[in-house]
Amino acid sequence: MNPADIQLPLYIFWDNSNVYISAQTVCSCKEYTENTKRVRLYFQNILRLAHANRPVTKVVFIGSSRSEDDDTGYVDILDEMRNDMNISVIMLERGNQTYTEQGVDQTLQLNMYRALCREHIPGVAVLLTGDGRGDAEDEGFLKTLQDFHNKGWGVEVLAWNRTCSRALKHWAHANGVFIPFEQYYTCVTFLEGGRTYTPLSLKNRKLSKPNYEDILAYDNLKQAYSELTDKYEAEDIYYRMFIEKQKFEIQALEEQKNELEEELSKYRRTEKYNARLKGRVTA
């Protein structure tokens, strides 16, 4: 079977808050403005850059429920985008002291592992993140993406080159695809009350591919299982028919037995009657 004919799963895991925070850092270098909080993310182009016109299995979007500084009305935008694809929106509260989201990485990693366990064939995992740190403690996205890669998945990382973990960038370059948001800066951002976004071109967008050997191995195993199942089903049907036939024959023999017993009983009653009748005549 040609792997190109198989519908492969494509998951997008989107850490929006870290992408936005890092966008402010990049904005200070790209824009002629001191108020970096004016920068906004243009979600439609970010999502299109992530899926690159490929069918999407699911998008897991993690944002903040207390975003006073970066309130872009993205919940309403995502609600509109849900009409076109399966988007799961997870809102996390900010800490009272740090004003940062609690457990973002862990929540996103949990959803990544759920996808990894749910799918039987490898697909493509696309991670949108700001820094992707935590690899030194073996807790960051790098370890999770390595698990995807070891299962035959294609891996793509979309992050800000200026703030992304060096280890994550190097690994993604070597084992998948790393796409710096800076390359599409004016397409994925705009300034509130200022610069608007520019059209997005996917001409030079690199794509990652899963391990087709794993896909073919799974497909061959699935076909062998299907053939074995068909064989057992056919044998099961044969044995069921055989058993039904035996039951029918046994029932027919039981009926014959009952008929013979009834005839024998009649014969014996007739013999007794004749014997009695003969005795009376002799007397």
DSSP 39: E
Coil, helix or strand at residue 154: strand
**CB burial class (10 A; 0-12, 13-18, 19+) of residue 75?**
middle
Strand 124-128 and strand 189-191: pairing?
unpaired
Structure confidence at residue 225 (pLDDT): 63
134: left (phi over 0), alpha (psi -120 to 50) or beta: left
Between 3.40.225.10, 3.30.450.20, 3.40.50.300, 3.40.50.1010, what CATH number should domain 7-210 receive?
3.40.50.1010
Q: What is the pLDDT of residue 224?
A: 64
The answer to whether 168 and 196 are in contact (CB under 8 A) is no
pLDDT in tens, the chain (283 residues): 455 556 789 999 999 988 998 998 888 888 766 677 788 999 999 999 999 999 999 999 988 765 444 444 566 676 777 677 788 888 887 655 444 555 788 899 999 999 999 998 899 999 999 876 655 556 689 999 999 999 899 999 999 999 999 999 999 999 999 999 999 999 999 988 888 999 999 999 999 999 877 666 656 666 666 777 777 777 777 777 778 878 888 888 888 888 888 888 887 778 776 777 666 655 5
Residue 11: φ, ψ to 5°: -115, 140
pTM, two decimals, is 0.71
- Calculate the CA 153 to chain-centre distance: 12
Q: What is the pLDDT of residue 74?
A: 61
In whole angstroms, give the CA distance from residue 205 to residue 218.
29
